Structure 1
Amino acid sequence: MVKRALMIAFHFPPQRGSSGIQRTLKFVQHLPGLGWEPLVLTAHPRAHADTEPDQMKDIASSVVVRRAFALDTARHLAWRGRYLGTMALPDRWVSWVLGAVPAGLAMIRRYRPQLIWSTYPIASAHLIGLALRRLTGLPWVADLRDPMIDASHPSGRLKRAIVGWIEAQTLAHCTRAVCTTPGAVRSYRARYPALPPERICLIENGYDEAAFAAASQETPPAPAAGPLVLLHSGIVYPSERDPRPLFGALAALRARGRITPATFRLVLRAPVHDDWLATLASEHGIDDIVTIAPALPYRAALAEMLGAGALLVLQASNCNDQVPAKLYEYLRAGRPVLALTDENGDTARTLRKLGIDTIGPLDDAEGIAQALERFLDLVAQGSAPLATDAMVRTQERGARTVQLGALFDAVLAEDSALRGARQAAKSSKAP
């Protein structure tokens, strides 16, 4: 019997700029080798603000992909740059629900999948999964990834209430909920104590070995001389990755002569908030050691990691139950990693478990300066801690997909047993 899974994901090629793309894309690539045929239900490309064809070739021609009607409220339904907030609840792509639910029903009727899978952080994806679960009765695996609700997110009473309702309904009706960090699992089990603990399980993020093998062909040779490049690849959020204490620390080290434009450069690749960051760097007098760089195609971004002098992680304490997906790619790149994060959070725990202790606070300029000075000394001496190859290989996305395939098999067996029990109960009542 062919086993099929309907996979609902907003983040999917040709979109560019979200680490969530890699999670779904690699699951789709690896699941067929585990006996599962993925059927992808995603949004029409018009809904994405930034697209590129680079990763379209990673989708096998045999994979069924349906791109349902979807609009971005902020770009398509705004008047003079403004729109009603209620038109973007639970998110700016809520119109996707209108296209995806009938499209999903059509796919279920045609291809007869055995289960449904949906993935966050676009809350409307779980709304679609919930609707299809209720309409068809198929088992549903909800890839929560990170907590949908925390102390500061989402903001706004109405949005928080709606996202909270979606979260509660998801946990109540899904067959399994999947998180990407141990902290998220603990958080959900504590908030929903009435649920059986096994309903909430862990499948972490990872890196893709094939993508790194291709990227290694593009990696330029390291320059013979020049400043050490400390690279942060990805979004720099004003709250969750506030760079102001870091910029303050860089300014202090610059004033003491510890770093200069000839010896050090911070590269912020595709940080999104370019103008704000450039202004901050100028205000701190470090615009000659901070580079705000544009986005790169995925493999070129990996090649840049492979060639960087060192790699930077930023993660605030309000994200202690999260680990940036980029961290796993950093580990595979094999370059020294400096993490500015809460030492009690999952990001720091993950690094320490792998033997990496180059960790400093994100919100304390002097603490950052001390951590950075130690880190620079270790890099210069060639003694910065790195994860072993054996430990890095355990983070590969193929291994994560093995976990997902095993979960799908368990859900399918459980559903078959339940159906059999119901049928037996009906037969026993028959005259």
Structure 2
Amino acid sequence: MKRVLMVAYHYPPVQVSSGLQRTLAFSKYIREHGWAPIVLSANPRAYANVSTDQLQDIPSDIPVVSAFALDTSKHLSIGGRYLDALALPDRWSSWWLGGVWSGLRIIRKYKPKLIWSTYPIATAHLIGLTLHKLTGLPWVADFRDSMTEPTYPREGARRKVFLWIEKRTVHACSKAIFTTPGAVEMYRERYPDLPSDKWLLMPNGYNEEIFSEIENVDSLGATQSLVREDGPITLVHSGVIYPDERDPKPFFQAISELKKQHKINGKGLKVILRATGHDEQFRPILEDLNIQDIVNLETGIPYRDALKEMLLADGLIIFQAANCNHQVPAKVYEYFRARKPVLALTDAAGDTAKTLADAGLTDIAPLDDSELIKQTLLAFMTKLKSGSAAIASDEAVAKYSRQSAARLLAKWFDAILQSKVQ
């Protein structure tokens, strides 16, 4: 078994919606293809929320090292304020010190053949870059989403640091992996001096093993739902709703207007927004619009319970702004596997809409257009009531298994080692 050092901030016991599932699945399934992982993560003190519910999913023979790390906002602030320099490139910049030290110890002990690091915590790529420079080991940078866009990060020190990390990462790594075709193409154009085969596409996905476990234990069927014959249609969004990138206010406005027009009410529609991460910001808006009887802000729950809620819902919701057109929320692929109709509030020209349309899901409206959201929501509800709402095609479901992705990742790792030998 060849060893790979996997550098990932998001790994159990951190509690996030779907951010840790990619690394967790890779670390588990890549072992079936000749690679033994050692995971370098952060000390749990650095996590905003901790949960033990997915520790059971880490195979007992995978070494997991939790390196020294602090969250600047929690540990280095006074009265809730801290120096911006202490949070560059992110609030977990102290993890670089602990990660490099622990990474070198891991490399001496386990002698991995390759390093893999994963964004969206930029410090992870800093650790990968430093370990690569110090040891000469080949390095694969899993960007997932683009690190920089024309308007992200905003102008200032953080943008300069992100651009610095991005440039050095793409020039030093053997391969750079992205989750959407749009991101791959953007980086090809941004760095035309680099070979075109440096850029690799690996979408996010779902874990069939966990879905099957839930279905077997709970005897869930594809047609079951949270709704009873006389109950409301239930729509669910599971995970963080960023106020800028997934702004739900036009959606809230659409629901408010439909309620005033007596086209919907709390007896006919229930919207569950699970673990938004910004409940305190959204709650006053719901109260001002008088729609808290329809839209429910619910707290986070264990991952398996969240998947079960998806399986039992009538429909699932996606929020994604046009400034994220090169991204696809990871939950989209879990929605596919749940085989539930999807209401997507996103730009029709973006990768999210294209991914949904390719899977046969076309109930899409712009995130920022409350009038079109009203029309699309009413049509979506009509389809749900009649049983005619589309679900993801079997081809789309089969395409996005994380087990298949781990097989491909191992193949790429093998090819990198082979190229070094030649």
TM-score tier, shorter chain, comes to over 0.9
Aligned counterpart, 2:405: 400
Deviates more, 1:150-159 or 1:229-238: 150-159
Contact 2:227 2:233 in 1 (8 A): no
* Superposed counterparts of 1:158-307, under 5 Å: 158-216=157-215, 217-218=217-218, 222-224=226-228, 225-307=230-312
3-state secondary structure, aligned to 2:20 = helix
Aligned counterpart, 1:80: 79
Name the CA distance, whole Å, in 1 between partners of 2:122 and 2:205: 22
Contact 2:3 2:113 in 1 (8 A): yes
Letter in 2 for 1:281: L
Is it true that 1:136 corresponds to 2:141 in the alignment? Answer: no
Name the CA distance, whole Å, in 2 between partners of 1:68 and 1:392: 36
Percent identity over the alignment is 49
Letter in 1 for 2:419: E
Residues 347-378 of structure 1 show CA distances to partners (whole Å, capped at 9, x for unaligned) of: 00001111111111100110111111111111
Name the CA distance, whole Å, in 1 between partners of 2:233 and 2:172: 51
Contact 2:227 2:313 in 1 (8 A): no
Scaled by the length of structure 1, what TM-score is found?
A: 0.95
Is it true that 1:364 corresponds to 2:369 in the alignment? Answer: yes
Deviates more, 1:114-123 or 1:254-263: 254-263
Deviates more, 1:364-373 or 1:207-216: 207-216
Corresponding residue pairs, total: 416
Letter in 2 for 1:63: I
3-state secondary structure, aligned to 1:134 = helix
Aligned counterpart, 1:328: 333
Aligned counterpart, 1:24: 23
3-state secondary structure, aligned to 1:41 = strand
Contact 1:11 1:18 in 2 (8 A): no
Name the CA distance, whole Å, in 2 between partners of 1:246 and 1:393: 31
Name the CA distance, whole Å, in 2 between partners of 1:43 and 1:203: 24
Name the CA distance, whole Å, in 2 between partners of 1:271 and 1:234: 6
Letter in 2 for 1:308: A
Letter in 2 for 1:72: D
Name the CA distance, whole Å, in 2 between partners of 1:57 and 1:275: 32
Larger radius of gyration: 1
Contact 1:336 1:384 in 2 (8 A): yes
Deviates more, 1:312-321 or 1:101-110: 101-110
Letter in 2 for 1:331: F
* Superposed counterparts of 1:24-103, under 5 Å: 24-103=23-102
Contact 1:269 1:295 in 2 (8 A): yes
Contact 1:151 1:318 in 2 (8 A): no
Name the CA distance, whole Å, in 2 between partners of 1:386 and 1:223: 18
Contact 2:18 2:331 in 1 (8 A): yes
Letter in 1 for 2:112: P
Contact 1:179 1:200 in 2 (8 A): yes
Name the CA distance, whole Å, in 2 between partners of 1:151 and 1:254: 38
Task: Report the CA distance between 1:18 and its aligned residue.
Answer: 4.3
Letter in 1 for 2:61: S
Contact 2:178 2:199 in 1 (8 A): yes
Contact 1:338 1:358 in 2 (8 A): yes
Task: Report the CA distance between 1:222 and its aligned residue.
Answer: 3.9
Aligned counterpart, 2:8: 9
Contact 2:42 2:67 in 1 (8 A): yes
Task: Report the CA distance between 1:242 and its aligned residue.
Answer: 0.7
Residues 152-194 of structure 1 show CA distances to partners (whole Å, capped at 9, x for unaligned) of: 2223410100011000000010000000000110111111111
Is it true that 1:416 corresponds to 2:415 in the alignment? Answer: no
Task: Report the CA distance between 1:215 and its aligned residue.
Answer: 2.4
Name the CA distance, whole Å, in 2 between partners of 1:388 and 1:145: 24
Task: Report the CA distance between 1:112 and its aligned residue.
Answer: 0.9
Aligned counterpart, 1:428: none
Residues 69-111 of structure 1 show CA distances to partners (whole Å, capped at 9, x for unaligned) of: 0000000111111110100000000000111101111111111
Contact 1:119 1:142 in 2 (8 A): yes
Name the CA distance, whole Å, in 2 between partners of 1:165 and 1:18: 29
Name the CA distance, whole Å, in 2 between partners of 1:156 and 1:294: 34
Residues 269-290 of structure 1 show CA distances to partners (whole Å, capped at 9, x for unaligned) of: 0001101111111111211111
Contact 1:214 1:299 in 2 (8 A): no
Name the CA distance, whole Å, in 2 between partners of 1:292 and 1:416: 55
List gaps (5 residues or longer) in structure 1: 418-431
Task: Report the CA distance between 1:214 and its aligned residue.
Answer: 2.3
3-state secondary structure, aligned to 1:40 = strand
3-state secondary structure, aligned to 1:150 = coil
Name the CA distance, whole Å, in 2 between partners of 1:377 and 1:152: 38
